[in-house]
Amino acid sequence: MPNQEQLRYTLKEYFGYDSFRPLQQEIIDSVFNGDDNLVIMPTGGGKSICFQLPAILLPGVTLVISPLIALMKDQVDGLLANGISAAFVNSSQVEQEQQEIYQQLLNKKIKLLYVAPESLSFLDTILTQVELSLIAIDEAHCISSWGHDFRPAYTQLGYLKKKFQNIPVIALTATADKATRQDICNQLNISDAKQYLASFDRKNLSLEVRPGNKRIEQIINFLKDKPNDCGIIYCLSRKTTEMLADKLQQQGYNAEAYHAGIDHQKRSKIQEGFINDTVQIVCATIAFGMGIDKSNVRWVIHYNLPKNIEGYYQEIGRAGRDGLPSHTLLFHSYADVVQLQKFANMSGNQEVQLAKLDRMKQYADSLSCRRRILLSYFGELIEEDCGNCDVCKNPPSIIDGTIIAQKALSCIARIKEEEPIGTVIDVLRGAQNAMVLDKGYQQLKTYGIANDIAWRDWQQYIVQLINQGYLEIAFHQNNKLKLTELSKKVLFQGEKVRLANLAEFEKIKEVAQEQINKAKKLDLFETLRRLRLELAKEADIPAYQIFSDASLRDMEKLRPMTDEEFMQVSGVGRQKMKNYGHQFIKAILDFSSEKTKAKRKANKNKGDSHKETLKLYKEGLSVEEIAVQRKLAQSTIFSHIMKLHQSGENIDLKQFVSKEDIESIRKAKEELDNPDALKPYFEHFQEALDYNTIRLALAVLEDDA
């Protein structure tokens, strides 16, 4: 088994990362120990490294079962860009191409071989002639009929463990509940596999749910401050994808529709355009995106309610895979529920699908922290609200909703629990449509007793009553609303009901948007992004395979100007430094030169910037006060302080950083083996300590040494 130093060296050399993400090293150690493993790790959590890194160090070839041609091509291209020998075999290749790959396998020229499950039988002979070190089964939920994306071809994979009994198997997927996890292990004949369940908490994803009113108008408003960001809009129907793409094109957006009804060549062209950043928005059915490892998707919108939480979580997980802040927005309506109920009724496991749809609906209707609901679904409990969903950002006030509840429940009782939500609301509001009048509901005492409440608000109040258990929907009886034992307590025993104040909730929904015109400002990130796009077009590869947005942001922070400094950037390995380091360092130098010239011009009468900071510091001003007076960022003032300290000025850095933080940095320095860069510390503390604090604490420790 490789030692820890060798593992970390390989991680940096080939993948460009200084440290492992949670669970990655434990899983890799288990692979080298010869164990079978089941890895449940959310999209963007780093599943691939769990088998790609061992593949580099293992003596033989690693076989990777992957469900989609586009996905395996994408991963192989990424591996080759990192200097790792890899190939794929699938139906898109001619026989000659496949024979060349087989020969490379026999000559030990390939470390990772990707293959679709349907093509696996053609490899039986060749696999017995090569040294097989590891079998990785990606998207493993496809083997289980309990999962959200069952694929029959996966059911044959159980024979692999029987045929290669001494070869470790690692099965990986982004989403699987307890029943699905057990089913995967049983069907793959790895019942004793070690199970690793990573945190599903993608803190960089903000979660938002809105009622599906005027969706197109809402989407256009949503996109106003995202003119250059790419995203995906998932729709239930093909017709909706085309309509929506057309509407967005009319607004000037580079949007395309994507669904199974479009011919294969055009679909491939659209997907390739999205990967290469020439198509900004894809309006698609849910199949889109499974084969894409695109790291810089900044937002995902669901135009309709998804059919279950597993699928929803996997789809929103396609945003922000680089770890940068990304937005998810879900629209939902009662019509969505009815449509999805019909789909579920046509499925092979109707009861399970309806139950999962019900959980999805509860999530959408909830007025409590959405992240806690998602995580609890996958068996992960957090004690505090996330602060990064629409409910946490705009918590509703609570009102005494007893009268509202009594009116609704009484109305449902008087119509003998025979109508769905829409008709109940019509009766409460005194509607004079044919449905109400033909059934004589205008004669009821509850007819028109609540016409002071808007139709949409009534819908939301009834949903809250359902979520709190006062009502239930009889899906098998055309979605009729039914009373429960709890509702009788409200009607006859005076039980109080608490509801969210919808008027107040809508009032505070509007949240200030920052940096609306950010695209108009050419900063270093935009400069590097344009260079990345130019290089990607020249090489005919996706832009994110050169560097992710996260790497560009790190370059923006660190401003590397030498090869050694460039290697400290997150995501920069040796091969990428050789391929692209010169161009990006030159772009950073050129940008810095232009910025320096601009600053000199602006400050030609202001004297030396550091001396001005020193003067104000000696006058007793705090860093915050100096930043305000000089109209500079606090980070800039801290950099002045550091430079002044290094030049010999009598500045006590301990006044800017607490003893606790200094001690934490000292311990981290030992645990991380005294890294040269700041990034490992930043990641070690899970971004809880900022770069200024880390830099100051390290300087204090150096002074005390």
Query: What are the pLDDT digits (tens) for 210-226?
Result: 988 889 999 999 998 88
Q: Angle at the Cα of 530 (from 527 to 534), degrees rounded to 5?
A: 140
In this prediction the pTM is: 0.56
Structure letter (DSSP) for residue 177: -
Is pLDDT above 60 for 174? Answer: yes
Amino acid type, 476: H
Which is higher by pLDDT, 418 or 70?
A: 418
Write the CB contacts of 160 (distance below 8 Å, at least 6 apart in sequence). 135, 169, 188
Specify the pLDDT at position 503: 59
Those residues with Cβ within 8 angstroms of residue 251's Cβ, 6 or more apart along the chain or in another chain: 220
Mean pLDDT for the stretch of residues 82-106:
89
* Residues sharing a CB contact under 8 Å with residue 672, sequence separation 6 or more, in sequence order: 19, 680, 681, 684
Q: For residue 655, name the pLDDT band (cuts at 50, 70, 90).
A: confident
pLDDT at residue 515, rounded to an integer: 34
Q: What is the pLDDT of residues 601-638, one digit of tens each?
A: 555 544 467 788 888 888 888 877 787 787 777 778 88
pLDDT top residue among 382 and 130: 130
Q: Is the pLDDT of residue 402 over 90?
A: yes
Strands 480-483 and 471-474: antiparallel
Query: Which pLDDT score is estimated for 606?
Result: 46
pLDDT, position 644: 84
Q: Hey, CA dihedral for 34, 40, 45, 47, is it positive or negative? A: positive
Instruction: Say which DSSP state 351 is in.
Output: H
Over range 269-277, report the average pLDDT: 87
Q: Which of 290-299, 301-310, 392-401 has the lowest mean pLDDT?
A: 290-299
> Which position has the higher pLDDT, 24 or 590?
24
- Average the pLDDT over 457-485 and give the result: 79
Query: Is pLDDT above 90 for 471?
Result: no
The letter for the amino acid at 616 is L
User: Closest Cα to residue 136, out of 213, 2, 259, 31?
Assistant: 31
Question: Distance between alpha carbon 186 and the CA centroid of its chain, in Å?
Answer: 29
Give the per-residue pLDDT at 279: 92
For every residue of 569-618, DSSP letters joined together read STT--HHHHHHHHHHHHHHHHHHHHHHHHHHHHHTTTT--HHHHHHHHHH
pLDDT at 518 over 50: no
Per-residue pLDDT tens for 321-364?
A: 888 999 999 998 877 888 888 888 877 677 778 878 877 887 88
pLDDT value, residue 289? 58
By DSSP bridging, strand 205-211 and strand 326-332 are parallel
Write down the pLDDT at residue 292.
65
Contact 64, 72 (CB under 8 A): yes
What pLDDT is attached to residue 687? 63
Cα dist from 436 to 149, 237, 421, 425, 616, whole Å = 42, 31, 13, 10, 76
